[in-house]
Amino acid sequence: MRAGLVVAFIGGVVCTAGLFLFLDGVKSNEATASPAAATPTGTVPNRDVYYPGTEELAPDEMRIVACGTGMPSVRPKQAAACFLVELGNGDKFLFDIGSGSHERIAAQKIPYDYLDKVFFGHLHVDHMGDLPSFWLGGTVMNRLTPLRVWGPSGASAEYGTQAAMDHMQEMYKWDVGTRSGVIDFRGGELEIHEFPFEKVNNVIFDENGVVIRSIPAIHGLDGAVSFILEWNGLKFVYGSDSYPNKWYAEHAKGADVAIHECFLPATLLVTRQGFAPMEALMVGTQGHTSPEQFGKLMSMVKPRLALGYHFYNDFDTEPEVRNRVRKTYDGPLDLAVDYMVWNVTKDDIRVRMSVVDEEVWPSPPLKKKNPPDLTKSIPISDFTKSGAIAMPEVVGPIFKEINDIYGTDIKPVLK
């Protein structure tokens, strides 16, 4: 009966293994439930969902949040690839930051100063498309710490992460120009770390007890990688897109959580997405990893939890994907949708869905803000100024209100 109820609640999202872990969580919560739950006016223990910002991480605990699990054509239910990893030592990492994922990151209610490390597995838009929004939006949302970005080299310099970031900054010159002399723009600084894509098990990050390595991947062009994060005896592996490859099979072994793409089956690419058969086979099994290939790979890796993503995960597609994975893999498995969250320790992996506050606001700044660097302010022309309708009778009282409250003497710029 209990299992039946839980299955009804979680629908097709959590697999058999996940369900087992989930039930573990239910049991432990029931054991600590308040007696008040047994009264008609009492509270009901929160045992099924995660409310971002309400749970402390234990010193030995890892929390993984799916902030994007879908396809390049984003939709309200699924943004493109992005996984947030939070560690009990306070460190937080973003692996990929695909289109639409910034909104899901913001829903975690984490101050932007704590979100200063982003790792790109490759430079497809569905894996890096929300970086501009996160970078420049973050500066408005009180990030006062430079944003650090790690990403692979390419076959030549123009295809590498450094070139992509240089050109992104060129592309957003106008945006930066409006802000850099007006607000404390320290959070708009970018620290870019390009590393060689072809190096195997290459340490690209080693700070605060956290080691992150990269391994090559096979996808698109030269310049795709996967990541291995190790901390406090826990091993997390993140596969950005890839054809199944020997580096992942070897170096993901022993993972507590191994994430890898698990693409839409070729059949569904034809029937649901209108692909030609040739196109569906090439994209679904040669450019990406089909569910059957994903399963085979996970049978080689044998993680504590295999986590597949990168398909439209719906009530009528998930069973098809799961059945195909089960042809080649019978271990613990979750097929991710956005806002799934996993709490990982050496003894337990608990999976739940998040419930997010759609009216979330950014957190106040964590550091004292500096005055803006006026040397960076770019004046507008007399022509543009000549069009201003100053409304002193309206704007004057707004300035007076603030000046009276805060003891300042600020005057309007446009008169």
Binding site for Zn ion (CB under 5 A): 124, 126, 241
CB 35 → Zn ion: shortest distance, Å?
A: 49
Q: Are 372 and 185 in contact (CB under 8 A)?
A: yes
What is the Cβ-side half-sphere exposure of residue 23, based on CA atoms within 13 angstroms? 12
CB 95 → Zn ion: shortest distance, Å?
A: 13
DSSP state of 119: E
Nearer to Zn ion, 52 or 291 (CB): 291
- Burial of 229 (C-beta count, 10 Å sphere; 0-12/13-18/19+): buried
Sheet holding 49-50, edge to edge: 49-50, 349-354, 340-344, 62-68, 82-87, 92-95, 117-119, 147-152, 190-195
CB 399 → Zn ion: shortest distance, Å?
A: 49
Nearer to Zn ion, 86 or 261 (CB): 261
Nearer to Zn ion, 92 or 260 (CB): 260
Q: Are 195 and 202 in contact (CB under 8 A)?
A: yes
Q: Are 262 and 292 in contact (CB under 8 A)?
A: no
Q: Are 263 and 273 in contact (CB under 8 A)?
A: no
Nearer to Zn ion, 150 or 311 (CB): 311
Q: 68 pairs with which residues across the strands?
A: 82
Nearer to Zn ion, 92 or 124 (CB): 124
Neighbouring CB atoms inside 10 A of 169's CB total 16
Nearer to Zn ion, 188 or 284 (CB): 284
Alpha helices in 32-148, H assignment, sequence order: 101-106, 125-128, 131-140
Find, among 189, 50, 62, 149, the residue nearest to 109 by Cα: 50
Q: How far is residue 136's CA from residue 116's CA, in Å, rounded to a whole number?
A: 12
Give kind and range of the element (H or E) at residue 226: strand 225-231
CB 263 → Zn ion: shortest distance, Å?
A: 9
Nearer to Zn ion, 61 or 241 (CB): 241
Q: How far is residue 18's CA from residue 10's CA, in Å, rounded to a whole number?
A: 10
CB 98 → Zn ion: shortest distance, Å?
A: 7
Nearer to Zn ion, 112 or 227 (CB): 227
Sign of CA dihedral 197, 198, 201, 203: negative
CB 262 → Zn ion: shortest distance, Å?
A: 11
Q: How far is residue 298's CA from residue 292's CA, in Å, rounded to a whole number?
A: 10
Nearer to Zn ion, 124 or 260 (CB): 124
CB 126 → Zn ion: shortest distance, Å?
A: 4
CB 100 → Zn ion: shortest distance, Å?
A: 13
Which pair of tokens denotes residue 395?
């704007």
Nearer to Zn ion, 121 or 188 (CB): 121
Which pair of tokens denotes residue 296?
């085979």
CB 165 → Zn ion: shortest distance, Å?
A: 18
Residue type, 164: A
CB 219 → Zn ion: shortest distance, Å?
A: 5
Sign of CA dihedral 133, 55, 120, 209: positive
Q: 351 pairs with which residues across the strands?
A: 342
